[in-house]
Amino acid sequence: MQAETELIRLDKITKNYRIGHEWFPALNGISHVIERGEFVAIMGPSGSGKSTLMSILGCLDGPTAGDYFLNGKKVSDLSENQRTEIRNREIGFVFQAFNLIPRTTTLENIELPMLYGNVRKKIARAKALEKLELVGLADKKNNRTNQISGGEMQRVAIARALANDPPLILADEPTGNLDTKRSNEIMDFIRMLNREKGITVIIVTHEPDIGGYAQRRIHMRDGLIEREN
Amino acid sequence: MNITTTISFSVRALMKNKFRSFLTLLGIIFGVGAVIMVMSLGYGAQLNIEERFAGMSNNLSVMPGSRSVGRVSTGAGGVNTLTLEDALAIADECPNISYVSPLVSTRSMVIYKSTNWPTTVQGVGSDFPVIGDWQIDAAKGDGRFFSEDEVHAGLKICVLGAEVYSQLFGGADAVGEIIRINRQPFTVIGVLAAKGQIGGFGNRDDVIMMPYTTAMSRLLGKVDSSINQIQLSATSTDALNAAIAEVTELLRRRHHIEASDGSADDFTVRNVAEVVSLAQSSTETMTSLLVAIAAVSLLVGGIGIMNIMFASVTERTREIGIRRAIGAKPRDIRLQFLIEAVTLCLIGGLLGILAAVGGAAILESVFKSRTAIPPNAILIAFGISTGVGTFFGYYPAFKASKLNVIEALRYE
């Protein structure tokens, strides 16, 4: 039962960007499968296409050619509105710069994906509190996002990523703005989510230490998967 | 995302930039304020006209016209073509006319003891207070208007307008006192209730009324029986047209004018209702012109809204990217910014009404212009606020919703 075990299938994905009058290839036909429950790191130097791949995996952008199946649905040729719904329900994003909404409370940040997904306000509030407890910040629920530390911000961001209980978490350099101690705390927590909650995790990083947390590392170069280990 | 949540996002975004929001508001406040204030001026003038002519809707007046001799016209009022006999004939022969009063008028100096005051003296008939809706002010002495017999007798009696009374007598008793008009003594028999000063119509209380017989012989020294006007009241509003026809027919006959051979009338019959509607339509035209000018400031305010919304969108590019990434559809973003603009305008509109009320009060006290906030002002203010907000907020909101998610997320 292949369809039930695989979460992501990429089939000859290419992506070209136009810079001025020239077309610049970012992905050159990537085919790959990620199973449910995997913890995968995408690694590679800048310009290797890992950010572009991340954008496509996150449904932030569509491929120029090729097919992308996520959770059994073909998402490569969806409209912007449909891609938005996929992002909202199927994917939790964790960014390097945390990307919390400024001047709102931690709880409100976590509610946001649920409100955009038409979850009722009362239910959203209860679930947001639950997620905040999960990341150990229940006592900071009324703090504004500028009143907490960087490590705490990233934990709030993880709680927000979990809000709609997505099967996939995409983390783009999640520890890039944190010191080693906080980095390890965050990575331990992400690994716990993967192991105990069965959430598929894909992280993008160029740090071997962080890549070490993953079960599998995909190394990219020039828009192709160079090797994996 | 439901609408109340979107509204709360928008309101909070505005609250984060209180001072900037306030400055933007000012444009809308002045715009809406100016529009409502001008409308209240127009509405005040409208009420003035209505009150000025209240109870006079059955009235007609006959004015002298021009008389043509060959191709030479004397111009309207150039010759006094109306006579006292015309007025008496109308009273006798027109069944649709219930009240008739001739009117002659002159400017005279009036003296009481050591006080003098220049005013208008009108010689009228005993029907005049009914036609012109004049009342005797019972609070200023036990007065009355002169009777038909007193008119026939040509007695040297008079009734004072409220303004003349206060200039000559202050608060003292006037009834029974003797005043001098053109050096001749007249007995005051009553004081008229004030009609109030109305902008644009002069002070109607600055007047003295006496029997037309007395005025014609004693003040004007007339050798003929020409008069300035005939004031008439039809039996009812429905009878107005019949009354006009009767009066016109009678006067043509008396003045030997054959309508069939193309001779022009040497008199004009005016319908007060027509005068009212003419005055009202000219007030309306003036008001719409002023509203159009005031609306320009609303336009400027709207451009301010657009400007600030563009600034806000640029400033929050990254926030838009985050929202889009975690599930906000372009429609959600568009709605959020649109509601922000409309909310700003609605608050501006509300404060604009208050500004208009204040401005109208200033106009009344400083410039003595009557103003009245139209009853539908609130509806109008909210209508134009929402309109301006939607119109000028849409494009920035549309731009915000079309931002590229990946670029917006990278925006510093």
Same domain, B240 and B131: yes
**How high does pLDDT run on average in chain B?**
87
| Percent of chain B whose pLDDT exceeds 70 | 94
Determine, yes or no, domain membership for B273: no
Residues B176 and B89 in one domain: yes
Scanning A172-201 for CB atoms below 8 A from B yields none
Residue B70, in any domain of the structure: no
- Number of folded domains that form chain B: 2
CA-to-CA distance for A140 and A104, rounded, in angstroms? 12
In a domain, A79, yes or no: no
Amino acid B70: pLDDT: 52
Going by pLDDT thresholds of 50, 70 and 90, the confidence category of residue B75 is: low
- Do residues B232 and B167 both lie within one domain? yes
| Amino acid identity for residue B338 in this structure | L
Whether pLDDT at B162 is above 60: yes
Regarding whether B96 and B8 lie in a shared domain, the answer is no
Do the domain assignments include residue A44?
Answer: yes
> What band does B9 get if pLDDT is binned at 50, 70 and 90?
confident
Chain A CB contacts of B409 below 8 Å: 60, 95, 99
Query: What chain A residue is nearest to B320 in terms of C-alpha separation?
Result: A101
End-to-end CA distance of chain B: 27
pLDDT of residue A85: 95
DSSP state of A214: S
The alpha carbons of chain B give a radius of gyration, in whole angstroms, of 32
Residue B411 has pLDDT above 80, yes or no: yes
Residues B97 and B224 in one domain: yes
**With an 8 Å Cβ cutoff, are A116 and B327 in contact?**
yes
Question: Which domain covers residue B173, as residue numbers?
Answer: 82-254
| Domain interval for residue A106 | 37-63+85-228
Are residues B298 and B389 located together in one domain of the fold?
yes
Instruction: Kindly state whether residues B88 and B35 are assigned to the same domain.
Output: no
Strands A216-221 and A39-43, by their bridges, are: parallel
Q: Using 50 as the pLDDT threshold, list the residues of chain A that sit under it.
A: 1-2
- Record: contact A58-B325, CB cut-off 8 A: yes
Q: What is the mean pLDDT of residues B233-256?
A: 89
Distance CA B149, CA B156 (A): 13
Which of A55, A80, A102 comes nearest B319 by C-beta? A102
Q: Look at residue B60 and tell me if it is in a domain.
A: no
The letter for the amino acid at B39 is M
Q: Does A84 touch chain B (CB under 8 A)?
A: yes
C-alpha distances in Å from residue B241, one per residue of A202, B53, B234, B248, B339: 92, 18, 9, 11, 57
Of B2, B16, B406, the CB nearest to A61: B406
Q: Based on the fold, state whether residues B24 and B168 are members of the same structural domain.
A: no
Tell me chain A's radius of gyration from C-alpha atoms. Answer: 17
- Mean of the pLDDT values across residues B169-182? 91
Would B69 be classed as within a structural domain? no
Q: What is the pLDDT of residues B29-73, one digit of tens each?
A: 999 999 999 889 888 888 888 877 777 778 888 988 765 555 555
pLDDT for A1 equals 42
Confidence of residue B21 (pLDDT cuts 50, 70, 90): confident
CB pair distance less than 8 Å for A93 and B325: yes
Beta carbons of A60 and B318 less than 8 Å apart: no
Mark residue B293 as left, alpha or beta (left: phi above 0; alpha: psi -120 to 50; beta: remaining): alpha
Q: How far is CA A53 from CA A111, A219, B338, in A?
A: 28, 12, 34
Determine, yes or no, domain membership for B68: no
Tokens of B371: 């103003």
From CA B244, how far away is CA B232, in angstroms rounded?
Answer: 10
Tokens of A94: 């964790």
Which residues of chain B neighbour A89 with C-beta distances below 8 Å?
327
| CB proximity list for B225: less than 8 A, separation 6 or greater | B83, B84, B85, B216
DSSP letter, residue B263:
P
The secondary structure of A66-82 as a DSSP string is EEEEETTEE-TT--HHH
B172 and B315 part of one domain:
no
Q: What is the pLDDT of residues B198-222, one digit of tens each?
A: 545 568 889 999 999 999 999 988 8
Contact A95, B409 (CB under 8 A): yes
Residues B229, B88 within the same domain: yes
Whether residue A116 and residue B326 make contact (CB cut-off 8 A), yes or no, is yes
B93 and B200 share one domain = yes
Predicted local distance difference test score (pLDDT) of residue A127? 95
Give the model's pLDDT for residue B376.
86
Total domain count for chain A?
1
Residue A27 forms part of a structural domain: no
B133 and B224 part of one domain: yes
In angstroms, what CA-CA distances link A84 with A47, A88, A198, B332?
26, 6, 24, 11
Q: Measured between beta carbons, which residues in chain A are less than 8 angstroms from residue B10?
A: none
- This model of the complex carries an ipTM of 0.94
In this structure, what CATH number is given to the domain that contains residue A182? Answer: 3.40.50.300
How confident is residue B225, by pLDDT bands cut at 50, 70 and 90? Answer: confident
